[in-house]
Amino acid sequence: MKQRSTGRLGIPIIHGLVNKVTILGAETAIGNGDDDFEWMDNWQIYTKDAGAKAAGAQSLPHLRGDVLLVSKSEAASALIYWNGKRYVWLQQGD
């Protein structure tokens, strides 16, 4: 999704239980991802069980839903997940 006035890119997430859309990026900063996701070239969705495995050695709290893996090929990556109150950024690589 692109923010019209600035051209910054983000990801809309539909929170199914409350039918609410949250925008990450596109002028809404999260973790090391900042407020423009233009740098990303890959994303994947994992079930909560597969998301815990994708985190590798890093520990995650009890996951409440699916996990979004965002990355720049051969560079940085992060997991984004819902902690019950907000979306959290867990850095995985540079």
Mean pLDDT of the chain: 84
The mean per-residue pLDDT over the stretch 52-73 comes to 76
- Structural domain boundaries in the chain: 10-91
Total-model pTM? 0.82
Give the pLDDT band (50/70/90) at residue 41: very high
Instruction: Count CB atoms within 10 A of the CB of residue 5.
Output: 7
Give the pLDDT band (50/70/90) at residue 64: confident
